[in-house]
Amino acid sequence: MAKNRFNQSWLHDHINDPYVKMAQRDGYRARAAYKLKEIDEQDKLIRPGQVIVDLGAAPGSWSQYARNKLAASKNRVDGGIDGTIIALDLLPMDPVADVHFIQGDFRDDEVLGRLEEVLGERQVDLVLSDMAPNLSGVAVADAARVEHICDLALEFSQRHLKPEGALLVKCFHGSGYSQIVEKFKHQFKIVAPRKPKASRDKSSETFILGKNLKNPG
């Protein structure tokens, strides 16, 4: 019974969520687009001409937002975007216009090879990661999973980011959070937490932004 009440409560909140309604109105696949929008408007992360990599991109709302931002900045009438967006995920993702999608694990050499094919000689301006592990409810195990995902994004950024590039990752307050922040501070000159209004109040979800690599790879 408790589980049913929880499901009904979640469904009620979801149906009445203003960001869900906005996503439906604006054509975004998930309300998460507005989390990135808020952070982008605060920190001016997405700019014309950039190379952007979206890790754990499915269902694609962050890629959609980035694509719309780069399309709006393009001063031509033939469509397209001013920049490059590459999305990666283990899961399949419906196509997003002008976004290169690579399905697979970005730790695999084959997947990295496909990414490097699209990049050519270019380094990345911005790495986005809205990845989250399947949480078990066991605090210590979940903290380790979250930290592992953040570590993967940090390693990827160390290899591929421009010296002045930025990394934005989803994280969760709780056990292990301070260790993740310390890892960011070791790698980036500027580190800041972000809690957009679109992130539900009940959620411990937060985002960490790192800018300007200390020791570019």
Domains of the chain, first to last: 30-213 (3.40.50.150)
| Residue 168, strand partner residues | 128, 209
Confirm or deny that 89 is annotated as ligand binding.
yes
pLDDT of residue 175: 77
pLDDT of residue 11: 55
Q: Mind telling me the catalytic residues?
A: 170
pLDDT of residue 1: 45
Confirm or deny that 78 is annotated as ligand binding.
no
Long-range CB pairs of 2-9 (<8 Å, 24+ gap) are none
pLDDT of residue 176: 87
Which DSSP symbol is given to 56? T
pLDDT of residue 73: 72
Condensed to tens digits (0 to 9), the pLDDT of residues 98-107 reads 999 999 998 8
Confirm or deny that 13 is annotated as ligand binding.
no
Confirm or deny that 113 is annotated as ligand binding.
no
Q: What residue ranges of the chain have pLDDT lower than 50?
A: 1-3, 6, 10
| Four-residue CA torsion sign, 8, 31, 198, 124 | positive
Global pTM value: 0.90
Amino acid (one-letter) located at 35: K
Condensed to tens digits (0 to 9), the pLDDT of residues 105-142 reads 988 889 989 998 999 989 999 999 998 877 777 778 88
Q: What is the Cα–Cα distance from 137 to 184, expressed in whole angstroms?
A: 25
Burial class (CB in 10 A: 0-12, 13-18, 19+), 148: exposed
pLDDT of residue 6: 47
pLDDT of residue 12: 53
Work out the number of other CB atoms within 10 angstroms of the CB of residue 19.
Answer: 20
pLDDT of residue 174: 79
